[in-house]
Amino acid sequence: MAEPLLNLRAVRRDYPSGEGTLAVLKGIDLAIEAGEMVAIVGPSGSGKSTLMNLLGGLDRPTSGSYRIAGREVGTLEPDELAALRREHFGFIFQRYHLLGELSALGNVEIPAIYAGRAPEERRRRAAGLLARLGMAERTGHRPGQLSGGQQQRVSIARALMNDAAVILADEPTGALDRHSGEEVLRILDELHAEGRTVVIVTHDMTVANRAGRIIEISDGAIVADHRVERPAAGTGAMAAKRDGFGPTLPTAPEAGLPPPDREEPAPPEPGGRGVGRVRAFAGRLGEALRMALLSMMAHRLRSFLTMLGIIIGIASVVCVVALGEGSRQRVLSNISSLGTNTLEIFAGRDFGDVRSAKITTLVVADAEALARQAYVAAVTPTVSSSSTARFAGKEASAQVNGVSEQYFLAKGTKLAQGRFFDADATRTRAQEVVIDENTRKALFGGFAGSPVGQVIFVGDVPARVVGVTQPQQGGFGSSQNLSLYLPYTTVQTRVLGSTSLRSITVRVSDTVATDLAEQAVTQFLARRHGAKDFFILNTDDIRQTITATTRTMTVLIAVIAVISLVVGGIGVMNIMLVSVSERVGEIGVRMAVGARQADILQQFLIEAMLVCLLGGVLGIALALGFGVAFSRLTTSFSLVYSSTAILAAVLCSTAIGLLFGYLPARRASRLDPVAALARG
């Protein structure tokens, strides 16, 4: 004789309790044939639910043997058990165990999602099942909007979704009124008539009497097992499900249930099995994404607060990087306005040298000697002083620069009007002056004619304006400064009364590298002076120093950003752990209908990632908004966003979701289904 469909031999189930163990099932021997309808009765606490959970593969025996269609359950892995539940068992619980966030249709669909059915097909089947159970009008209702009887019908539809051969109903009418209870029992009768194996737990003898076989259980042991004569509900169909685990199921149109459109294993696709599997996986991934979105929407405030850490972290990173880049670009543009490949030679050992003002070793002869070097394109000695400039009753304090005619060439200064003074002017200490735009505004603001040709007073020295320079693009120091350019000979003799120089500016030939020129100048001057009593500022050096400084700043910022994101990530982990323990019941239900451990892991990981990713996107939006506000406040400076930083921020927040979501997700996936259901 063939082995019974469900076959228990000396099955024990012990629970650890305090020091010892509590024996709940004490050696159960039970065989249930395919197509039977069995009622299990007994007092509360006798072990009925424990037995049901064992029968349905939610739990495993502590000892003894349980074989389902010849397969030993004790040796199966959790995912193999999940596959068994998914494909062959349908659970109906006293408390329905529907997911409150999903519609009736959504609840019914779940088992098919884990079975990898196509969305179209499973929606059609779920709607069909609900319609046949009299729920056609309520497919979009949430469980909270349905009566107990209606909810139980939804849960029956869910049990039938994957066309289970065995229906396990644990006190399905326990929470229902008489009428609804009758309805549910009628449906179970129909399912039995279709050839399904139905096991129903009850403490109501009138319910039990509808079954063909009643098993009485007391204190963890079977005390009676008798078959009753009952009007044949579908004797013809009885044997039909003998091979119950085969892919086909006899259709029973008269039973009023949809013909189960269980598919034959799909015919090999052109791409082979792999393609189908990938598609099923992608489908489950899509569902996990949808579920994650749903649960985020259901807990909006909590999700937002979780995100807040990530939002602030990402926004500050993006902002600070943009600020750094903005200031770097500004400083660099200021430097380039200083002129390219110029060297500025100062007296003293470096900027901080207090004696530099008194050192008078840098002289005009040095400049003249340098001018004869092959690698030098232009040289100008510079002296400087500050003084008051006056014209027609207006006066302003100005920086007086004594330079040679080559200064403008060396610096690349451009004229707006007039001309520069020439070599003759330098030689003859001419009282000619080139003024800058600021000076023009200050002295000639209300003046009708051209400033060129007018005579201004520089201190007590009269000087004729010969040219006006173009406004400078930034430059070091305040752009409000007034600058005057006179021949250095004029300034030395008439303003300063001293022949020492402040500095010598050298423009290096375009064909010579600035570094080499700097070395050559250093050697040349050191030999002339017999000592290195000067220092050279190279604009390239300044540029490099600034670039290096901003790089250091960026590293510093990155470190702070990582710290803040880790703190945000820990917040995410914390909330995800809360979320998992809050949703233990949901996890139990998903496991009962056949979710793999990987499915649960995926769902919570995706949720964590989604929270972080959304937080990242909001953070970037916040940073961009800050940039707009910033540009309203000031025009002299702007944030420069780097797409690399933004991309890195998004990747970073996703990675944080993965990293910090993993622990909670793993905890969820490792839950014991029975314990999870009980806690839910």
Residues lying near Mg ion in the complex (CB under 5 A) are found at 49
Interacting residues of 647 by C-beta distance below 8 A, sequence separation 6+: none
- Kindly state the DSSP code that residue 492 receives in the 8-state scheme: I
Contact assessment for residue 563 and residue 383, using Cβ atoms and an 8 Å cutoff: no
Residue nearest to ligand ADP (CB): 49
Stretch that binds ligand ADP, among 28-36, 39-47, 330-338, 375-383 (CB under 6 A): 39-47
Q: Which is nearer to ligand ADP, 50 or 107 (CB)?
A: 50
Of 309, 325, 329, 326, which Cα lies nearest the Cα of 561? 309
Count helices and strands in the chain by DSSP H and E runs: 21, 20
Nearest Cα neighbor of 252 from 198, 168, 193 is 193
Shortest separation between residue 23's beta carbon and Mg ion, angstroms? 17
User: Of 93 and 408, which has the nearer Cβ to Mg ion?
Assistant: 93
Secondary element (H or E) of residue 398: strand 394-403
Q: Single out the segment in contact with ligand ADP by CB under 6 A; choices: 46-54, 184-192, 266-274, 524-532.
A: 46-54
Q: Which is nearer to Mg ion, 102 or 200 (CB)?
A: 200
Give the three-state DSSP class for 11: strand
Among 33, 48, 66, 212, binds ligand ADP (CB under 6 A): 48
Side chain identity at residue 37, one-letter code: M
Considering only the stretches 38-46, 192-200, 528-536, 545-553, report the one whose residues sit in contact with ligand ADP under the rule CB under 6 A: 38-46
- What residue 50 binds from ligand ADP, Mg ion, none (CB within 5 to 8 A, per partner kind)? ligand ADP
Q: Which ranges in 396-538 belong to alpha helices (H)?
A: 407-411, 423-427, 437-444, 488-490, 514-529
Instruction: Please identify which residue in 8, 35, 49, 322 interacts with ligand ADP, judged by CB under 6 A.
Output: 49
Most distant CA pair in the chain: distance in Å?
A: 136
> What's the min distance (Å) between Cβ of 87 and ligand ADP?
25
**Tokens 């540029």 correspond to what residue?**
543
Taking the complex as a whole, the smallest distance from the CB of residue 594 to ligand ADP amounts, in Å, to 21
Q: Least Å distance between CB 46 and Mg ion?
A: 9
Question: Which one of ligand ADP, Mg ion, none interacts with residue 24, CB within 5 to 8 A by kind?
Answer: ligand ADP
Looking at residue 114, the DSSP 8-state letter turns out to be H
Residue 679 touching ligand ADP (CB under 6 A): no
User: What is the nearest approach in angstroms of Mg ion to the Cβ of residue 174?
Assistant: 9
- Nearer to ligand ADP by C-beta: 89 or 485? 89
Interaction partner, residue 44 (ligand ADP, Mg ion, none; CB < 5-8 Å by kind): ligand ADP
Closest Cα partner for 654 from 534, 565, 540, 575?
565
Interhelix angle for 514-529 vs 364-371, to 10°? 130
Contact between 15 and ligand ADP by CB under 6 A: the answer reads yes
Judged by CB under 6 A, which of 7, 46, 103, 406 binds ligand ADP?
Answer: 46
Among 22, 559, 567, 598, binds ligand ADP (CB under 6 A): 22
> What b/e readout covers 76-92, taking b as 16+ CB neighbours within 10 angstroms?
beeeebbbbbbbbbbbb
23 or 542: CB nearest ligand ADP? 23
Nearer to Mg ion, 26 or 290 (CB): 26
Other C-beta atoms lying within 10 Å of the C-beta of residue 580 = 22
Q: What residues numbered 504-523 form the site for ligand ADP, per CB under 6 A?
A: none
Length of the chain: 680
* Pairing state between β 213-218 and 63-68: unpaired
User: Which of ligand ADP, Mg ion, none does 647 bind, CB closer than 5 to 8 A by kind?
Assistant: none
Interface region with ligand ADP, contact rule CB under 6 A, candidates 41-49, 229-237, 290-298, 369-377? 41-49
Q: Taking the complex as a whole, how short is the minimal distance between the CB of residue 618 and Mg ion, in angstroms?
A: 47
Which residues are within 8 A (CB) of 303 and not within 5 positions of it... i.e. 6 or more apart? 296, 611
Q: Cβ of residue 198: shortest distance to ligand ADP, in angstroms?
A: 18
638, 642, 645, 648: CA torsion to nearest 10 = 150
Using the rule CB under 6 A, which residue among 18, 20, 44, 301 binds ligand ADP? 44
Q: Measured between alpha carbons, how far is 130 from 138 in angstroms, rounded to an integer?
A: 8
Query: Can residue 50 be called a binding residue for ligand ADP (CB under 6 A)?
Result: yes
Residue 575 to residue 296: CA distance in whole angstroms: 12
Q: Which is nearer to ligand ADP, 16 or 265 (CB)?
A: 16
- Judged by CB under 6 A, the residue of 7, 36, 47, 165 near ligand ADP is 47
Cβ distance to ligand ADP smaller for residue 168 or 319:
168
Q: Does 45 bind ligand ADP (CB under 6 A)?
A: yes
Handedness of CA 407, 410, 413, 418 (dihedral sign): positive
- Radius of gyration for the alpha carbons in the chain, expressed in angstroms and rounded: 44
Binding residues (CB under 6 A) for ligand ADP: these are 15, 22, 24, 42, 44-50, 675
